[in-house]
């Protein structure tokens, strides 16, 4: 099924959907290996991609999939944030994926939440450049927030926005409150790839699970393209797929 240029695949449950996404990534990694090239993966955090990472770990352990030729760029990190903090996306990625596979540590890139304000802009430009130097993102994984954010591109983010320091939306902070033991502990800012950074990826896979995401998935696919729902910019791109479970797909028109 297609809607406004976006391919939509609906799975019985998020487990089957996650396995399908991980297997696609595994195929890409192996195809690049056969050519002696690197696979460049744009990765996401949050609850949504955890099943994908579980399957990638299984492919590594049980089927010998190697990540030696993989370079990763994560979408975002809270700011300020120390990597050793339990809530950091550095910790998340270690626990959910990197500690369990054979990716070289120097191939992992996650925005640095420890920088001083005065060097953040230069750092963000360098992050963009590093993605470009790696040959661009082959696949970018995305979740979607209830605000319609992708990465931490909150309402107001423009189509050409690049990696930068942003202020988090209140809804996003509320959704993170339990992980931080209270809203007051959730950082107010983050460093995120921009909508324009994501748009340059050769393939974009947005995943959403559960009834809670049904309304925003509908808006992202069928709504007017607007900075108020940054995910609607995906309608303008080639090579975008939405991988949904039945519940998240529940409100898409016929």
Catalytic residue positions, numbered: 154
Measure the CA–CA gap between 1 and 239, rounded to whole angstroms. 14
- Tell which positions 57-96 bind ligand PGA, by CB under 6 A: none
Q: Tell me whether residue 48 or residue 88 sits nearer to ligand PGA (CB atom).
A: 48
- Tell which positions 205-224 bind ligand PGA, by CB under 6 A: none
Measure the CA–CA gap between 128 and 219, rounded to whole angstroms. 29
Q: Token pair of 103, please?
A: 């990716």
Of the candidate residues 25, 28, 40, 48, the single one contacting ligand PGA (CB under 6 A)? 48
Alpha carbon 205 to its chain's center: 9
- Tell which positions 140-169 bind ligand PGA, by CB under 6 A: 143-145, 149
Nearest to 208 by CA among 234, 242, 177, 237: 242
Main-chain phi, psi angles of 79, to 5 degrees: -140, 125
Q: Tell me whether residue 28 or residue 144 sits nearer to ligand PGA (CB atom).
A: 144
Q: Tell me whether residue 47 or residue 119 sits nearer to ligand PGA (CB atom).
A: 47
Is residue 177 within the footprint of ligand PGA (CB under 6 A)? no
Of the candidate residues 47, 126, 132, 179, the single one contacting ligand PGA (CB under 6 A)? 47
Residues constituting the chain = 254
Is residue 230 within the footprint of ligand PGA (CB under 6 A)? no
| SS3 state of residue 12 | coil
- What is the per-residue binding string for ligand PGA in 27-46, x denoting contact by CB under 6 A? -------------------x
Residue of this chain nearest to ligand PGA (CB atom): 46
Q: Are 233 and 7 in contact (CB under 8 A)?
A: no
Q: Are 189 and 224 in contact (CB under 8 A)?
A: no
Stretch that binds ligand PGA, among 7-15, 59-67, 137-145, 153-161 (CB under 6 A): 137-145
Q: Tell me whether residue 20 or residue 134 sits nearer to ligand PGA (CB atom).
A: 20
53: enclosing H helix or E strand: helix 50-63
Q: Token pair of 158, please?
A: 């423009």
Is residue 25 within the footprint of ligand PGA (CB under 6 A)? no
Is residue 1 within the footprint of ligand PGA (CB under 6 A)? no
Report the interhelical angle of 14-34 vs 50-63 (nearest 10°). Answer: 50
Q: Tell me whether residue 38 or residue 173 sits nearer to ligand PGA (CB atom).
A: 173
Q: Which residues are at the interface with ligand PGA (CB under 6 A)?
A: 46-48, 143-145, 149
């Amino acid at each position: 099924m297609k809607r406004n240029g976006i391919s939509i695949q609906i799975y019985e449950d998020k487990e089957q959907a996650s396995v399908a996404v991980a297997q696609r990534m595994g195929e890409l990694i192996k195809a690049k290996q056969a050519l002696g090239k690197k696979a460049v993966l744009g990765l996401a955090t949050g609850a949504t991609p955890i099943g994908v990472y579980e399957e990638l770990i299984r492919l590594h352990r049980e089927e010998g999939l190697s990540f030696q030729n993989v370079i990763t760029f994560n979408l975002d990190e809270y700011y300020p944030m120390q990597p050793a903090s339990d809530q950091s996306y550095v910790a998340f990625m270690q626990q959910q994926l990197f500690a369990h596979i054979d990716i070289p540590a120097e191939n992992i890139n996650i925005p640095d939440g420890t920088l001083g304000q005065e060097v953040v802009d230069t750092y963000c430009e360098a992050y963009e450049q590093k993605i470009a130097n790696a040959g661009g993102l082959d696949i970018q994984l995305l979740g979607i927030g209830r605000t319609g954010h992708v990465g931490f591109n909150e309402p107001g983010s423009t189509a050409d926005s690049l990696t930068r320091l942003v202020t988090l939306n209140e809804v996003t902070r509320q959704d993170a409150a339990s992980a931080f033991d209270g809203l007051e502990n959730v950082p107010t800012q983050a460093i995120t790839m921009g909508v324009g950074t994501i748009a340059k990826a050769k393939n974009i896979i947005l995943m959403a699970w559960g009834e809670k995401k049904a309304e925003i998935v509908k808006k992202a696919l069928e709504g007017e393209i607007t900075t108020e729902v940054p995910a609607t910019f995906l309608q303008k791109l080639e090579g975008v797929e939405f991988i949904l479970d039945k519940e998240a797909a529940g409100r898409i028109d016929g």
